Every structure is written in structure tokens, then in C-alpha cells.
Amino acid sequence: MSSDGGDETGVPSGETATDGERPRTTGIADAWDPVSGDVALDDSRLYLNRELSELEFQERVLYEALDDRNPLLERVKFLGLLTKNLDEFFMKRIGGLKQQMAADVTELTPDGRTPEQQWAEALEKARPIFERQVTSWHDELRPALAAAGIEVVDHDDLTASERAGLRDYFETSVLPTLTPLTFDPAHPFPFLSNLSLSLAVRTQREGEDVKFSRVKIPENRPRLVQVGDDDDVFVPLEQVVAANLDLLFPNVDILDYAAFRVTRNAEVRRNEEVAEGLIEMIEGVLRERRFATVVRLEVEEGIHPDVRDLLVTQLELDEREVFERPGPLDFRDLRRVADLDRPDLSLPSWTPKHHQSLARFGSEDDRSVFEIIRRNDVLVHHPYHSFEETVQSFFEEAAHDDDVLAIKAAIYRTSADSKVIQSLIEAARNGKQVAVMVELKARFDEENNLRWVRRLEEEGIHVAYGTIGLKTHSKIALVVRDEADGVTLYSHVGTGNYHAETAKTYVDLGLLTADQAIGQDLTRVFNFFTGHSFHEEYRKLLVAPVTMRETFVEHIRREAEHARAGEGGRIVAKMNALEDPAVVKELYEASQAGVDIDLIVRGISRLRPGLDGISENIDVRSVVGRFLEHSRIFYFHDRGDEAFYIGSADWMTRNLDRRVEAVVPVEDESLREELRFILDTLLADNRKAWEMQSDGSYVQCRPGENEPVNTHEVLMERATRNAPDRESREIYDAESPLAPGDIDR
């Protein structure tokens, strides 16, 4: 397997590799200080803080931009992604903490912090992340881009001819969209929309007082403006606006200007019990979110002190919520640079491959997807397998199959032009019974989901909007088909959304099965969505909030019992977040019993690994690379009677207790081998993996003298070689990077 280039020390540009040193994040708290005697497993020191752990993950995202082993445009992409992630962190997590503070909540978290303590520590930890982001842009990435012929230049550095051309562009294409808003006794302080980039402009007419005006940088104009005819030279739009303010404010003196940006709380909630309907409630939330409390103010370095004070006062901010730094303040639009057609500066392109079971060719072209699934369960793995030719094909064929009686699906997020939704509409038009659960409370997708609800209802499709008190996060679909031997149920249970675009970059798994017990379980779940009562027993599915927590705890305790009996115990769990204190405590007890535990947790982890007498048998690692690790896999050895599960739930309190989730057992031995290979590869990764330390910091893995193992490269190569060959139909079976059966060691 080839590496992705560059030095293999594992040290980002600007850092020096020495023996025993590897890049690491800053940590959450001091390392565990051993205490004599027994330590109660509910001791707050054993639990890391959720918000600070999330910022640890953002540091790992930042390292992808810093790591000069990555291609240049990949680094630029991660720099922009970091802004998007931190925007959401402030809107959701900091916003939620401010709400708790305003309500005088003083309840301590499992790690022993009040909302105010978390708020203050999170702001303090976020500040150096912003500073390092902007430093890496100015000192490393921007110069490297220029050396490669891609320039993001300052307006002041342009030639007179280039400035004249941009002035013409501004006057014809930008100026008509601008609306300067002045704050003075005759004009109220302007409303500042969430995440909008603005210029604070101070002007003065002779003999009059200085005036403050806000100029919003238009979001419907390209943020990076092309200079002349050169496709690879750009200037930020805010600089073009600033250079031409005289056209916006004629006959006054422009004293100074500076960019600024506000972030508002997205944690706007309404009482579901008193809302007349979920649609009305969500529409209200969307309206209120526009005017929600400001949780962060970003200002350009050098902003006039009077302007800074004015913004802080009018927005009712604490100085700790102000982040001042050199521009640009918003790196999200660097995606335009990252997407430039420069193969020499990018990762090799990736096209998802045909699935060896679902691809149809030769004499078997006439097989239906249902014949294939009825013969054997099918495990799909995105983005290694094509979403269009697997999951989407499942819906499309169901919509047009004369024998299909009904289709049911739960939609949490989907694309604006979703072909899955279109297939459901076509199914209804073809006379099939269609029921769709659309979760209106999917944060930041509420508006998109509202549009789909109206579209589906226009077609006469029965739509459930969600449930009171619970958010539906399960990724499930059910097809009811009339066959020669009776009605057969075909199911899909996945870890990711029915979203064709995110399926190209999010790593997710899905099980397609004709197992009737699973189908009957899904029938019960869908009946809950459209009815009013929740079944408490299921044949095979683990369903939250009724059976999932209990079953996972039983599995963990069973491994502990085996270990105490000298029969060994083994748990491997892959998820996005490990937050639930009760599950963490169970894992500590299993470790104390001698269970060997590997946790692959992309983001938040409350658990401290490597504590003597408590968690020395637990390893935690995080993999951050070109694809977003989004799948959930749970493995329990059970003295060789192994259990494998995949599904939508993380080990978070919200997933286990406050959401409708579905996790499905994988029982086919060949599919278990697929999951085993995936877990083995993740555990062997020494290129994109980070090892968690007991203080909450992470140390980046590096190959050293070993062959580099990059999970995403291994699985792309395997998918390529496993794709059906139209001539020989041979299937490649790659060897695991670890010894066979490593996860059940």
C-alpha cells in the first residue's frame, strides 16, 4: 500500500521530530494523580468534560491542515472545515451553556463542572485553536499556494489596472446588493444575522459627529473574487468592498473600517407539549433562531476601540466572548480553492465502486435486488460502495416493482434533490402504500425537512413529523413485497442518513436483509411513528429508548463475568462519541475485571484510558482523515459466541434515552468477516489515528519503521479490488493489516 506522500515522521510542518516525540493535542486536565485506596467509579475526576473533549477533536481536525504530509489542497479543505465545525460548536454547545447560565442552572456535570465553568473553560481552550488556524493560513498555506500558482492576494497588493477592473466589478455586481445601516439617534442598532460577515465602518462629515455603519458582505456573491482573467488569483470580497467604500458613502470621510462576524445561539427550544403542532413549533424555532442571543463576536485585528466597545455593548457580550485576530475571519469559502482542478495538489480522486453482490452483469442482469438480498444479507460500506447503486437502487426498484405492496422509511437528513425521496413519491404514484417519518427536529436541516414534508403530503403520502419528547435518529427502511410463498419483508438498517452527497464523504455501513424477524421489528418501530404506543420487546433489533441501553450493558457485564472466571473478555466499539456516564462506568468495571477493550471514538470521549487499577485495559483512539468516520460497530467476544452490531446510536445519553435509534445484529459470517477487517484496519492505522491519553489529550500515531497503514487508503484499495470484474468475476480478498482475528484476541 502506498502512503500519501511526504515525510513519515508524523510531525506537521513547523514542528521538529525527535525520538519519542509525536504531535499531540493540549489536553483537558492534568493527568490522573494516583490515589491510595479504592476510588469510587462515580468520582468526577474519572470523567472528562464533553465540551472540552469536543474541542480536542477540533484540534485533531486542525492538524490535518497543519500536516505537510497531506496534499496542499487537502490541507486547505480542513482549514475551512475547522471554521464550519467551530461555528456549530459555538451555536450548539456554547449556546446551550449560555441558556443554562441565564436560567441559573448550577447542576454539576459528571466531571464536576457548572455551566459557567464549562463556558469559561471552553472559550479559553478555543482561543488558541483560532490563533493557530489563522497563523497556519498566513505563514504556511497561503505562501505554499502562491508558490504553486494559486494566489489569494490582498487588494492593496494588486496593480492599478487590476484594482480598476475590480472597481468596475464592484460597481456593477456588488454595490447594488449592499445596504449600509447606520447607527445614530435616528437609526436603531442594525440586526446582525447569524454567521454573517460585515464591515464596521466609521465615517464623518465635516462638522458632524463620527458615525458607525454596518455593511453586510453579500452572501449571494462569490466570497473569493477572481482577479481579471486569471482563474487562480483571488481577492476576498470584503477587501473589494472596503476598497470601494467611497462609492457607498459619498461625500464623507471614511475614517476606518474592520471586518466582524457574529455567532448566535442555535439552541432555541419550544415546549412540544403546548405547541399546536410540530410544524408550527419548528417554524417558530427557525424564526427565533434568527434573533437568538449572540454567543461569539469575531473582530478583525486593529478594529477601532470605540467600534469594539459599541459591538460588545449592543450585543450584550462578555469580553471573553470576543475573538480578535487578523483576517480573514471566515475560512469556509476556501472550499473554492480546495476544489480547484489541481491533481498535483490534491488527493487522488475517488469514485465509489460497484458492490460485489449487488452489481449485475452477464447472464444475471435480470436479477432483482430483492432476489439478491433474499439469497444472502448484504453489507454496504459508503463511500467505498456506491450509494446510488446500493441503497438508492433498493428504493428505486421498490418504487417500480409490481410485487411491492408498501414502503416505509425514516428520514433524518437528506439532500435537497433527494432521489430517495423521489422514489418514495414515484412509489405512491404507482399505487403502493408509502409512509415516511421525517424528523423535523434535525438541527440545521429543519427547513429542508419542512419542504420535503409539504412535498410528500402533496403526493398523498402519509408523513409522521417526529414524536413528542423524542428525536428520531434511526436510519431504517422497510419494503413489503408479495411473493409466491407469501409476504416478505426487506429491511435496510444503517448508520448514516439517506443522503447521496454525504455518502460520498461520510463513512457509513448498512445492512440489507430479508430476515423476517428484523422486518417484523422494523414494522413495530414504524407503527410507533404513526401510532402512539412503543413496543417494549423486539426479536433482534436493539431499539432506543426501550431495549438498547439494557442490552449493551448486559453485553459489557457478560464480558466482565467471563474475564473474572478466567475465560477472557473482549470488547471493540466504534462510534462517534462516548458520553454516557453510566456506560463509561460499566466499561471501567469491565476493565477492572480484566476485559480487553478497544474503543474507536471519532470525537467526544468522557472516559479516561490507561488509569492504573481503573482503565489500564482500555485503549481509545480516533481516526481523522479524508472521509468522516461516521459508522458505529459494536463487537463482543462472549467466549467465542461473538456478537456484531451496527446502527445509528452512539454511546451518548441522548442516543440511549432521548432518541429513537435502531441497532441491528450482523449474523452472516461472511459479513462479520467484513466488519472484523474494518475494525482490524482501524486498530492498525498508524497514519491517521490518534491515541488518547489519560489527561484527555491525543498523541498522533506514526509508522516509524513500519509500513504506513492509512485506513481510508486500505479500504479504498480493497473496494477497488473487490469490485466485480466483468470478464472473470473474480473477487479479491485483501489481507488484514493485523493478524487474522486480532479484534477477538
The answer to whether 600 and 625 are in contact (CB under 8 A) is: no
Distances (CA, A) of 168 to 218, 227, 230, 391: 17, 12, 17, 49
Helix ranges (H only) for 12-141 are 50-66, 72-89, 95-102, 115-136
Tell me the residue ranges of DSSP E strands in 530-640: 542-544, 570-575, 596-601, 618-623, 628-629, 633-636
Q: Which 8-state DSSP code applies to residue 358? A: T
Q: What is the CA radius of gyration of the chain?
A: 27
Q: How far apart are CA 494 and CA 649, in angstroms?
A: 10
The answer to whether 399 and 427 are in contact (CB under 8 A) is: yes
The residue from 473, 499, 562, 630 that is catalytic is 473
CA max distance for the chain: 92
304 has catalytic annotation = no
State the pairing for strand pair 253-264/224-226: unpaired
Residue written as grid cell 430479508: 514
Q: How far apart are CA 683 and CA 677, in angstroms?
A: 10
Residue written as grid cell 479559553: 124
Q: How far apart are CA 490 and CA 102, in angstroms?
A: 49
Its sign, for the CA torsion 304, 305, 310, 315, is: positive
Distances (CA, A) of 392 to 345, 350, 357, 387, 476: 32, 19, 15, 6, 13
SS3 232: coil
The residue count of the chain comes to 745
Its sign, for the CA torsion 637, 695, 611, 550, is: negative
The answer to whether 84 and 32 are in contact (CB under 8 A) is: no
Within 10 Å of residue 544's Cβ, how many Cβ atoms?
25
Q: How far apart are CA 159 and CA 731, in angstroms?
A: 59
The answer to whether 210 and 184 are in contact (CB under 8 A) is: no
Residue written as grid cell 461520510: 506
27: left (phi over 0), alpha (psi -120 to 50) or beta: left
Q: What angle do CA 556, 560, 563 make, to 5 degrees?
A: 140
Cis peptide before 326 (omega within 30 of 0): no
Q: In one letter, which amino acid is 272?
A: E
Helix ranges (H only) for 177-268 are 237-243, 245-248
3-state secondary structure 49-86: CHHHHHHHHHHHHHHHHHCCCCCHHHHHHHHHHHHHHH
Positions annotated as catalytic residues are 473
